[in-house]
Amino acid sequence: MIELKHLSFSYDDKHQILDDISLKIGADSHKVIGIMGHNGAGKSTLFLNLVGELKPTGGEILVDGQPVEYSKKGLRALRRKIGIVFQNSDQQIFYSIVKDDVAFALHNLKVPADEIQAKVERVLKELDILPLKDRPIQYLSGGQKKRVAIAGIMVIGSEWILLDEPTSGLDPDGRLRMKMLIQKLVANGQHIILSSHDMDFMYEVCDYLYLLGDGKILAQGGKREVFNDEQLLKENKLEQPWLVKIHQKLGLPLYDSEQELFANEGRKHN
Amino acid sequence: MLSIDKYAYENRIVDWSPKLKALLWLAGIVLAFQPLLWLKAVVLVVVAIITIYVTKVSVKRYISWFYAIIPFVLLSIIGIVVTISSQKSTLIWPIKLGSVYLGMAKVMMPRAGRMALQCMAAIVCTYWFALTTPFTQILQVLKAAHFPRMMIEVTMLMYRFIFIFVDAFEQIHRAQKLRFGYDSFSLMIHSSGILAKMLFEQVIINYEMMTKALDAKLYDGEFYI
C-alpha cells in the first residue's frame, strides 16, 4: 500500500503543484488505480514524487507503512517496489537491440546471466513481442517501442507499476493490447497506477479513480461514482466515458465494457 | 532515417561471421595502403562491384553515398598540390601574385593521385564493411578484440542516439520547410540557427528525462554489453 500524508510539492514555493494530498492507494485491494486530471493538473509531478525523483516539499510518502528514505539505498529499494514507465519511449530505451534493453535493469540487479535470459524471454512473450527480440530499436513502430519500454520495467517484477499516459499515440489495436497487458500485469499480482486523458480507457480498465485538479484530490471512488458527475468533469476539462453518457442520456443500463453492452443490448434486438 | 544502416541488416552476407568480415575489411585496408598502384585500383573496382552485388543497392544510390566524402578527399588533395613557388615552370596553371606564383606543383601530382586512389580504395572497403555488418556484429568484434569497455559503451550509446538525433533534426527541419523557412539564403541562415538552438534544447530535455528513466531501471554507473 502506498500512503500519502499531507503531501505537498512545489518547484518555487509560490505555486503549489500538489497541495496537501492525503490518500491511501491500494488500501481496499484495488488493482488498477487511475489518476485523472487536465494538462498541468499535477499527474506527472505526483508520479515523480511516488518514485522519489522529486522530494515532497511537505508531508510524506509511506510505502507498506515505511516512510520513503531519500538516501541512495532507500531510493533503490523504493524503485524495486515501484517501477515507472514514462510517456516517451525513446527517452527510456538505451540499447539498440530489444533484448539488451529489456535485460538492462536485471544486470543492474546483478541477476545471473542465464536467469536474465529466461526472464527477458518470458516478459517478451507476455507482451507478445518475442519475435522482436533481436531487432534494432530504431526500426520499431511507436506501439512496439512502447511495449519494449514497458518490458524494461516489467522485468524488475516490482509490486507497483506506474504508467504515464500509456495509450497516447497508440492506434486502436495498440490501445486494446494495452488494456490486455494491464489485465495480465494484474493477473501476475502487480498493481497499476495509470494516468490518462482517455476517459473511455480509464473507465474500462481502472477499478478505483482519483480526480486531480489544482493540486488537490477533487473526487475519488469506483468508476461508477467518479464518472457520474458530468459537471465536475467538465470543470476539469474532462468528459464522461461514452458508456456513462448513453446510460445517463439514453437511459440504457450502465455497462462496464463495450462487449457487455453489445452482448446484452444485442440480445434484446434479436 | 539513415538508409545506410538498413542495408547492414538486409544484405546477402549478413549471416557471415562478423570476425571474418572484420578480417576481410582489414585485408582490404592493407591492400589499399600497399605500394602497387594497379592493385589499389583493382581493389577499388572489385570491392565496389561486390558491395553493390551483396547489398542489392542501386549503383546511383551507392555513388550518392560518396558525395559526403568526396569534398574531404578533394580538400586534402588541394592541400597537397597547391603551392607557392618563385619558378613559374614548376607549376601547372600558375597565377602571378606579386613576385611569386600560386599554382599546382608538378612534382606533387603523382603523389596526390596515389593518395586519392589509396583513400578511395580504403573508403570503398570500409563501406563494404559498414553495409554488410549490422551494428550488433560490430560490437561483437570490438568485444572479441578486447577494446576498452568504456569505448564500446560509448559506441553503443552513440549508435542508439544518432537515430533519435537525426529524427529530431528531420522533424524540426520539415516543420520549418513547410512554413517557408528555407525559401531564401537569409531565411536559410536564420532557420538553421533556430534549428540548432532547438536541437540543443531538446538534447537537454531528453537528458533530464533519460536520467529519470535510468533511475527507474536501477542504473548504477555501468552499461552491460
Per-residue confidence at A169, pLDDT binned at 50, 70, 90? confident
Do A60 and A186 lie in a common domain? Answer: yes
For residue B222, the chain A residue with the least C-alpha distance is: A108
Shared-domain flag, residues A197 and A254: no
Does the beta carbon of B20 lie under 8 angstroms from any beta carbon of chain A?
Answer: no
Across the interface, whether the CB atoms of A136 and B9 are under 8 A apart is answered: yes
Q: What is the mean pLDDT of residues A160-188?
A: 91
Do A29 and A101 fall within a single domain? yes
**Residues forming a β-bridge with A219:** A211
Residue-wise pLDDT tens digits, A112-137: 999 999 999 999 998 889 999 988 88
Number of domains in chain B: 2
Chain A: residue whose CA lies nearest to B207: A91
> What mean pLDDT comes out for the span B8-25?
91
Chain A interface includes B216 (CB < 8 A): yes
Both B60 and B135 in one domain: the answer is: yes
Per-residue confidence (pLDDT) for residue B107, from 0 to 100: 86
Contacts of B135 in chain A (CB under 8 A): 96, 136
- Whether residue B159 is found in the same domain as residue B206: yes
**Domain tally, chain A:** 2
Residue A256: per-residue pLDDT: 86
Give DSSP secondary structure letters for chain A. -EEEEEEEE-SSSSS-SEEEEEEEETTTS--EEEEE--TTSSHHHHHHHHTTSS--SEEEEEETTEEPP-SHHHHHHHHHHEEEE-S-GGGT--SSBHHHHHHHHHHHTT--HHHHHHHHHHHHHHTT-GGGTTSBGGGS-HHHHHHHHHHHHHTT--SEEEEESTTTT--HHHHHHHHHHHHHHHHTT-EEEEE-S-HHHHHHH-SEEEEEETTEEEEEE-HHHHTT-HHHHHHTT----HHHHHHHHH-----SSHHHHHHHHHHHH-
Q: How far apart are CA B134 and CA B14, in angstroms?
A: 7
**CA–CA dist B70, B29 (Å, integer):** 18
The predicted pLDDT at position A15 comes to: 87
**The model's pTM:** 0.82
CATH of the domain at A71: 3.40.50.300
User: Is B72 found in the same domain as B48?
Assistant: yes
Q: Please tell me whether residues B166 and B74 are part of one structural domain.
A: no
Question: Is residue A24 over pLDDT 70?
Answer: yes
Specify whether A110 is located in the same domain as A68: yes
Report the SS3 class of residue B118.
Answer: helix
Range of the domain at A268: 240-270
ipTM exceeding the 0.90 mark: no
Mean pLDDT of B142-147: 92
Mutation site, A86, A88, A91, A162, interface B, largest B CB count within 10 A: A91
Residue B94 has a pLDDT of 84
- Among B140, B162, B193, which residue terminates a domain? B140
